[in-house]
Structure 1
Amino acid sequence: MSATFDTDVVVIGGGPVGVTALAMLGRMGLTAIGVEKNTEMWRTARAVHFDGEAFRMLQSLGISEKLAKATRPMNSMHIQNEAGEVLVSVPTGQFGSQAWNDDLTFHQPDVESVLRDIVSDLPGIELRCGVSASEVNNVADGVEVTVVNAEGQESVLRSRWVIAADGARSSTRRALGIEGDRFGDDANWVVVDGHLVDSPGYEDDMIFLCHHSRPAMWIRLPGNRVRMEFMVMDGDDPDEIVTPEAIERISRGILPAANFTPERQAIYTFRGRIAQRWREGNIFLVGDAAHQAPPCFGQGLCAGIRDIANLVWKLDVVKRGIEDEDLLDTYETERKPHAQFWVEQAVKAAGFLQTLDPDAARQRDQFIRANPTEAAPVSPPLGPGFHDGEVDNRAGRLSVQPILSDGRRLDDLIGINFTLVLDTGMYNDLDADLRRQLESSNEVVVLTEPTQTDLILQAVGAQAVLIRPDRYILSVAESPVELDRVVRHIPGISVGAARTA
């Protein structure tokens, strides 16, 4: 293959994860071509939930205000049994450590439109709709992607890397012969989205309806949109179960046919899967192509956005020659255990929710009453990779984001960079040569102003913190000697021009 590329990255799949990849690649200065087999954007909802971390990752694209208008903070969630008893109630309305609400709901086409608008304005970034990838091959120095347009014309795109964001049925994953590990039992559910008008619905924003007669879920979305999900039971007629009359019946009158206008009624299979490999040469699996989980914690799209945030900055520093290709191996080692945690948690929650035996349901209820924290698992650190988490458990975890006195969020000030957070005294004690390297580097922002640093340092309990471009902590230090070691982690520390915030 020639060393001449059509683009740095080909992104296969133009859903929200693929479009986020294009947007983040463009913001980092890489070039990319996205190919999406559908000619039009999907007009019905699929994903409906962001957590604070996902929203923070999208903040880096400069679309916070537009996303805020397209989302609805989730203010209450509880788990209810067959008798209507609230087994546990989880507060969800708080402004969290990421400087955004911990949980938000949305109508996916609204969010996807915002993301596509960003992509259309970025130089070097293109999304080609009505174009499918028929073949993907690793070749010397890069990847060749055979694409077919809507008229059936075939051509070849040459790129250094491919990001496969082509969903749960990923043709790229299948073509590479990558199998998936299975978690839990698959189950068919009816998913219903639509507008509920002049009818109260449930008061809470999200409810796990642990009804052993028919498990269900309720989610309130922006405006008058709602989603309900119902487990398909033995004896259900798949055609009848999606009719307005059936939806009214199985919702126990919550979605009355006279007041509920459906936009989508479909039977989906909820499954837990993790691809056995996430990288094949210069091809990377992301989003549902790499992992799938039952929707109990709404982490599907969030996990895909984490994949992109983790991978894109690594592609950038490798492309610019300031890190070796081996860095790209840490994408899978870091992200796969993190994603698997959420798949396992969702499968466990689905097992609780899907209990059909009354005696087993009573035992489940007793367990949840006795272990209420099981309803709100805490996100884990990254797996082993480009951080010091194996020697200090403060590293490899997501950093906090302060809101500054002028109302700005810190990430808007520092951009997508490595960030060294410490006090002035410790910085001045750093080796003079390393200070000169920091002050001549394009790769790092140094923060010493207490209004910017105090919350971060207090949250970690350290004297100095080095944060990666994806906002995860690379390393921490308690002394100038340790700081010297930490600073040497920064790629390209001796090149570029100074930048301090």
Structure 2
Amino acid sequence: MTSPDMQADILIVGAGPTGLTLANLLGQAGIKTILIDRKTNTVTEPRAVSIDDESLRTMQAIGLEQEVLKDVVAGYGVHYFNRPGGHCFGKVEPTSKLYGFPKRNAFRQPLFEATLCKGLERFPSLKVCFSHELLSLEQENNQVIAQVRNESGQEIEIAANYLVACDGGRSPVRKQLGIAMVGSSFQSRWLVIDTDKDDDPFWQTRVYCDARRPVVDVPGPHQTRRFELLLRPGETDEEMLTDEKLRELLRPFRGTKSTSIVRKTVYTFHARVAERWRVGRVFLAGDAAHLTPPYAGQGMNSGIRDAHNLGWKLTQVLQGRINSSVLNTYESERRGHAWALIQLALNLGIVMAPSSVFRAKLISGLFRVIGMLPPLRDYFLQMRFKPKPRFSKGLVVPSRIVSPFKVGEMFPQPFLFDIEDQPVRLDHMLGDCFALIQCGNTAGNDLSKLEHPLWDSLGAKRILIESADAVIPVETDMRRLVLKDRQVSLTRALFDSNAIILLRPDRYIAAIFDLQGEFHTVQALEALFGIPTVPSFTDSPAAINAHHELS
């Protein structure tokens, strides 16, 4: 029998970046959660080294972006060289902050995990149990029963409505469920060397596309640095990890200077995806669901996207706002984008680790041609080749409204100005709920006139974004928040349209509609969310007229 203190709404297995992010999201919503991990604490050795703008936006959503940014080198790029000491033939230096943060940032995973773990102390609904190992699990009576060995070696029972496995690439939960990993059979072995007390002031990543031995040199915060070197067939771990061999391998980059090595290991990189991400009340997330080569720096970031996508849906289901059937959209929304990033990593691997000297020369020559063509140069310089997150199916309503943005994509996060003319990021005004956004107060299409009780049941905030020269009356409608776009961060076309945009809690666009299309949009959302239609609205004159127009 499960003791009361070992019963929860959600059981998370694995306290890595994905599990810790999910726990913070659930804790923020007051969801009773238990997080277990067989380790004694968060990791102490460096692992992932790159965090992107989307992940930092999720950190903002859980109120930890300032703490995380203290241990981040923000906005670094990539310089491509033909060999150590050779010439730079290509650069990627993105400057855009579409989602409110730089696209590429260096970080240290131990510091990052420690910050996320510290953040859990804010929430009384969370229970964190390190030195707890999952032994087995069963699903019965609309709950998951987990047998766990605690820090004293005793076997205890934990019961939860749902279990989320964030337990890594070798996921014991995935194996217990009998889920196979499918996809590319790609794999390669890399020697990873992490250093501290680094005296190299260069803060961009260097990639040496040398067919003899490709090398990646990544700067980190607090005078840290990582070197990744591709191992050749026949080179053993024992041979390559000796101090003498490490000095030889680092000599082209460090010369005769001493190097403070804090970690050395050999990784095998895979590109694979779990064939299923859900079995009943058990979900896979992070490396348990997908394994990504590091060339694009997206492995951990994909896991954080998983956490945000699944976290808000679990919250809404457990709070009774939407039906549990929406949880089926977790995999359908996340799988395609996760695989697109794996494909990006594989393609970048061809550039970073050319298989022959001829191919290396071909790649450097191609980059030189690209550098002479401004549109192509900017395409690579600003990292526009990175697949944007976009859902073609899931919790989104197709729209025929002309808008510069599309349903299913992440909405930008501009700096705006409040009624007191103070700068503020958009997400700080959104909170962790749905939001209705309108740009420009179009007569007759004001979002304050939206009537359906669905908006209030979803807790949707109403936000009007005005242009810099707009005059806001003193008697501002208390049902909406008014912000000004003084920096013209959002496209002018959005202000000229009649669009009302419904944002989900994870900042993705769920619907784009106008006042006349409210009835149709509500019907579609109710079907997606499994919410019964409210008769009083469907019988209203506005709804009847809208229904006739649609017919």
2:92 maps to 90
Say if 1:12 and 1:166, in contact at 8 Å, map to a contact too.
yes
User: Which range moved further: 373-382 or 66-75?
Assistant: 373-382
Amino acid at match of 2:508: Y
Q: Determine which of 378, 382, 387 is the counterpart of 1:379.
A: 387
In structure 2, how many angstroms separate the alpha carbons of the residues matched to 1:26 and 1:251?
44
Q: Secondary structure of the equivalent of 2:511?
A: strand
Q: Which residue of 2 aligns with 1:473?
A: 509
Do structure 1's residue 398 and structure 2's residue 400 form an aligned pair? no
Letter in 2 for 1:450: E
CA distance in 2, matches of 1:168, 1:53: 22
Distance 1:443 1:368, change over 3 A: same
Does 95-104 or 126-135 show the bigger shift?
95-104
Matched AA of 1:379: P
- SS at the partner of 1:14? coil
Q: What is the letter of the counterpart of residue 71 of structure 1?
A: V
TM-score norm. by structure 1 comes to 0.90
Which deviates further from its counterpart, 343-352 or 365-374?
A: 365-374
| Deviation string, structure 1 residues 269-317 (Cα, Å, up to 9, x no partner) | 0111111111111111100001111111111111111001101111122
Q: 1:409 to 1:168 in 2, by over 3 A?
A: same
Query: Contact conserved, 2:198 with 2:225, CA < 8 A, in 1?
Result: no
Change (3 A) 1:44 1:432: closer
TM-score norm. by structure 2 comes to 0.82
Contact 2:92 2:380 in 1 (8 A): no
Output one character per residue of 1:235-267: Cα deviation in whole Å (capped at 9) or x when no partner. Answer: 424223223432332234324574311111000
- Partner Cα distance (1:453, 1:271) in 2: 46
The 1:360–1:111 alpha-carbon spacing in structure 2 relative to 1, beyond 3 Å, is: same
Tell me which residue corresponds to 2:362.
363
Q: 1:401 to 1:136 in 2, by over 3 A?
A: same
Q: Does 1:306 align with 2:305?
A: yes
Please give the secondary structure, in 2, of the residue aligned with 1:120: helix
Distance 1:429 1:155 in 2: 58
The residue number in structure 2 matching 1:332 is: 331
- Percent identical: 26
State the match for 2:427 in structure 1.
Answer: 411
Unpaired segments of 5 or more residues in structure 1? 495-501
Shift of 1:404: 2.4
* Matches of 2:515 and 2:109, distance apart in 1: 48
Give matches, 1:167-178, under 5 Å: 167-178=168-179
Secondary structure, aligned partner of 1:340: helix
User: What CA deviation, in whole Å up to 9, does each residue of 1:450-478 have, x standing for no partner?
Assistant: 1637545658685221111000111212x
Gaps of 5+ in 2: 371-376, 468-482, 535-551
> Are the structure 2 counterparts of residues 460 and 77 from structure 1 closer, same or farther at C-alpha, using a change threshold of 3 Å?
farther
CA RMSD of aligned residues (A): 2.7
Give the equivalent residue in structure 2 for 1:261.
Answer: 260
CA distance in 2 between partners of 1:298 and 1:210 (Å):
17
Q: Which residues of 2 match residues 105-184 of structure 1 at below 5 A?
A: 105-183=106-184
Is this contact kept in 2: 1:387–1:473, CA < 8 A? yes
SS at match of 2:313: helix
Cα distance in 1 for residues equivalent to 2:391 and 2:253: 41
Q: 2: CA distance between counterparts of 1:305 and 1:342? A: 14
Read off the aligned partner of 1:88 and give its amino acid letter. Answer: G
Shift of 1:191: 0.6
Structure 1 Cα separation of the partners of residues 72 and 154 of structure 2: 39
SS of 2:453's partner is helix
Q: Compared with structure 1, are the counterparts of its residues 263 and 256 closer, same or farther at alpha carbon in structure 2 (3 Å cutoff)?
A: farther
1:146, 1:156 within 8 Å by CA — same for their partners in 2?
Answer: yes
> Structure 1 residues 65 and 39 mapped into 2: Cα distance closer, same or farther (>3 Å)?
same
- 1:352 aligned residue: 351
1:363-395, CA deviations, whole angstroms, 9 ceiling, x for partnerless residues?
A: 333444455646832333124111136878711
Describe the shift of the 1:366–1:356 C-alpha distance in structure 2 as closer, same or farther (beyond 3 A).
same
Decide whether aligned partners of structure 1 residues 460 and 296 sit closer, same or farther in structure 2, where only a CA change above 3 A counts: farther
Could you tell me how far apart the structure 2 residues matched to 1:332 and 1:137 are? Answer: 22
Change in CA separation of 1:389 and 1:189 when aligned onto 2, cut-off 3 Å: farther
Structure 1 contact 52–99 (Cα < 8 Å) conserved = yes
| Letter matched to residue 133 of structure 2 | S
After TM superposition, the structure 1 stretch with the greater mean CA deviation from structure 2, 332-341 or 415-424, is 415-424
In structure 1, how many angstroms separate the alpha carbons of the residues matched to 2:74 and 2:448?
47
Q: 1:436 to 1:35 in 2, by over 3 A?
A: same
Counterpart of 1:485, as a letter, is H
Q: Structure 2 vs 1, CA of residues 442 and 360 (structure 1 numbering), >3 Å: closer, same or farther?
A: closer
1:327 aligns to what SS in structure 2? helix
Letter of the 1:482 partner, please give it.
Answer: G
Moved more, 399-408 or 41-50: 399-408
Q: What do residues 205-251 of structure 1 show as CA deviations (whole Å, max 9, x unaligned)?
A: 21221110101101100121000100011342422322343233223
- Structure 2 residue identity aligned to 1:226: R
Indicate the larger mover: 152-161 or 237-246. Answer: 237-246
The structure having more radius of gyration, on CA atoms, is 2
TM-fit CA distance, 1:117: 0.8
Separation (CA, whole Å) in 2 of partners of 1:32 and 1:216: 42
Bigger CA drift: 392-401 or 11-20? 392-401
Equivalent residues in 2 for 1:408-487, closer than 5 Å: 408-423=424-439, 425-426=441-442, 429=445, 434-435=450-451, 437=453, 440-441=456-457, 443-450=459-466, 452=483, 455-456=489-490, 458=492, 462=497, 463-477=499-513, 479-487=514-522
Q: How many residues align?
A: 489
Cα distance in 2 between the residues matched to 1:427 and 1:398: 27
Q: Is the 8 A contact 1:287 1:307 kept in 2?
A: yes
